Amino acid sequence: MRMRIKEEILNKRHTWEVASIYGTLIFLGLTVYFLIMYAVGLQHVIELRFLNLFIMLAGIYYAMMQYRRLHDGHISYFRALTLGSATSFIGATTFGIFLFFFLKLEGNLMQSIQVNEPIGRYLNPYIASCVVQLEGVFSGFGLSYILVNYIHTDSATLPQGGAIPVADNHGNQSTHIPRS
C-alpha cells in the first residue's frame, strides 16, 4: 500500500514536470513563429495560424513520448490525455500572457487589428490574448484526444485485488481475474 502511494505521487510529479517542460517548448515555438511572422509582415494572414497546430501537436506528442520513456514504456490513456491537456494549457497560457504584453506595449498591431478586423472595435489586448489562449487550450485538448487514440497506451488498470466483480443473469456474484 505504501509503495502504491509513492508510485502515484511520482507519477503525478512526472506528469507536472513533463507538462511544464514541453509546455514551455510549445510557448517558445509559438513565440518564435509569431515574431518571425510579425517581422516579415504576415501577422494579418489568418490562415498561417493553422501552422500553430503543428507546433502544439509536436509539443504534446513529445511530452507523451517523454512520459512513456520515464515509465518504462507505459502510459495510461487518461494519464496521456491529462498530460497532453496540461502541456497545451501551459503553452497556450504563457503565449497568451506574452501576447497580452506584446499588444499592450507595441500598440501598432492592436490598432491595426481594431481597424481592419470585422469585430476589431470590440477588441482590446486583454480580450484578444484571452481568445488566443482559449483557442490554444481547446485545440490542445482536441489534439491530445486525437493523439491518445493513435499512440499505444496501457489498458485500464485493475481494481485493488486484481479481480473484477461480475454477476450472471440470475444476479449471482463471482469474480473475474483477467489474464495478462
Over the stretch 39-62, which tens digit does the pLDDT of each residue have? 998 877 778 888 999 999 999 999
> Which triple of cell numbers denotes residue 123?
477588441
pLDDT computed for residue 11 by the predictor? 59
Model confidence at 85: pLDDT above 90: yes
pLDDT computed for residue 156 by the predictor? 57
pTM for the model stands at 0.77
Convert 97-159 into a string of H (helix), E (strand) and C (coil). HHHHHHHHHHCHHHHHHHHHCCCHHHCCHHHHHHHHHHHHHHHHHHHHHHHHCCCCCECCCCC
Fill in the amino acid letter for 52. N
Over the stretch 107-127, which tens digit does the pLDDT of each residue have? 787 777 767 777 667 778 888
Largest CA distance in the chain: 74
**155 falls in which pLDDT band (50, 70, 90)?**
low
| DSSP-based three-state secondary structure for 123 | coil
> Which helix H or strand E contains 88, and what residues bound it?
helix 77-106
Model confidence at 143: pLDDT above 60: yes
Closest by CA position to 66, among listed 1, 18, 9, 112 = 18
